[in-house]
Amino acid sequence: MEKDMTKGSPMRLILGFSIPLLFGLLFQQFYSMVDTIIVGHYLGVDALAAVGATGSVNFLIIGFCMGVCNGFAIPVAQEFGAGNERNLRKYVANSVWLSVLFAIVITIIVVLFCRPILQLMKTPDNIIDGSYSYIVIIFMGIPVVFLYNMTAAIIRSLGDSKTPVIFLTMAALLNIVLDLVCIIVFKWGVAGAAIATVVSQAVAGICCLLFMREKFQILKISKEEWQVDRDFMGKLCNMGLPMGLQYSITAIGSVVLQSAVNSIGSAAVATVTAGGKLSMFLMCPFDAMGSTMATYAGQNVGAGKLERLGKGLKSCTILGAIYSVIALGIVLSVGEYLLLLFLDSKETTILANAQWFITINVCFYFALALVNIVRFFIQGMGFSKLAVFAGMFEMLARGLAGFVLVPIFGFSAVPFANPLAWIFADLFLIPAYIHCRKKLEKLMNRENVQQS
């Protein structure tokens, strides 16, 4: 079941690994879109805004959890590339203990402070109760977020990107059914959408866990390997925490921007929610490319094949450029009709603003492609701490938009916040990759001299 990415054509390997990931991400966004579609059409604009108002704080917390899990999987990929099965299993075991600890602590903290956070974000009074009902349930489901993302990341680090997609597809279909039942039949409102999301992800996580235990002989962990090891936990935290913080630091800028949008009113929130949902769907290929490059870089660094790094990065960048053009064509030709999935055709002002939002964003998608490809590549190379600074640049850009541009120019400035953040991040990431590559080459040369 394992897949070695240290041999063969980088372009073919990247395509073969990223396409299943892409389908998984598309389904993940699809059932997220279903939440939005059902909420928007059956519960109204205020309910849509209530869910949308939680987007940035949701990303702040859930993004941290996902980043930590992806970071924990990097040493696993490196040990797999190096062929060191014992260390690989010890990293997996210690990542389990850390995931349990993080899940418990984070859940307790964010559930307790959920409503104060929404109040600090200036969530409009007419939607704050709905926002709280939705996000508090999502946060109660943080343990299942860790369950799915940790197991899926380990499976991917061993070269299998297809299996997590299968289980995520099952979860997406289940989520649609549960959405319809919870919102339309049981009439649980926005809380029903949250319940459907948590239950569906729990099913996907359990399936990944059972599959991982049964199918990967390399993961048959002994009692000795299950023991807590401070050195292994230290390296896992050195990889996982910076990746989690990178998501959270990026999200802080999004929270500032969301607060600025909230201050404009619920109509603006609904506009950004609809445009953002479509944009997130179109961004899925970039997310797949990023996850692919983390595994590709991790395995090749572990195998000591640094000459393959540049070839892989070039291949993926070409793919990112091609898709950026395709995405622009989609938005310019059918973007207005796609937005009708979330909004009623009578909401003409909101529709027009949402179209403006998505068009401006997609024009800068190549900058986003570089952010995902280069950032995850650096993390896969083992420089997670350095990649955190890219998140800081994104935070500064969105903070600038939220504190300065939106108060001056109103909603017209909101669509430019994301492109500004992507450009700021690229200005740091490209030189950072060159630095990391040179540092790895020096380290590798030094080790070769010592061995000689």
- Per residue in 357-405, pLDDT tens? 899 999 999 999 999 999 989 988 988 777 778 888 888 888 888 888 8
Number of C-alpha atoms within 13 angstroms, CB side, residue 76?
Answer: 28
> Does 28 reside within a domain?
yes
pLDDT for res 205? 95
Rounded to an integer, what distance in angstroms lies between the CA atom of residue 223 and that of residue 216? 17
The answer as to whether 5 is a domain residue is no
Task: Give the model's pLDDT for residue 388.
Answer: 78
In this prediction, residue 32 carries a pLDDT of 67
* Residue 393 to residues 197, 220, 249, Cα–Cα distance (Å): 31, 42, 9
Q: What is the pLDDT of residues 78-108, one digit of tens each?
A: 899 888 999 999 999 999 999 999 999 999 9
pLDDT at residue 191, rounded to an integer: 93
pLDDT of residue 451: 65
Counted domains in the chain = 1
The pTM of the full predicted model, rounded to 2 decimals, is 0.77
Residue 366 belongs to a domain: yes
Mean pLDDT for the chain? 88
Task: List the domain range (segments joined by +) for residue 195.
Answer: 10-451
Q: Give the residues of the chain that fall short of pLDDT 50.
A: none
Does residue 2 sit within a domain? Answer: no
Looking at residue 450, its pLDDT comes to: 66
Amino acid identity at 48: L
Asked whether residue 1 is domain-assigned, the answer is no
Residue 269 lies in a domain: yes
Is residue 306 a part of any domain in this protein? yes
Report pLDDT for 31: 64
- Cα separation, 222 vs 211, in Å, equals 18
Does residue 4 fall inside a structural domain? no
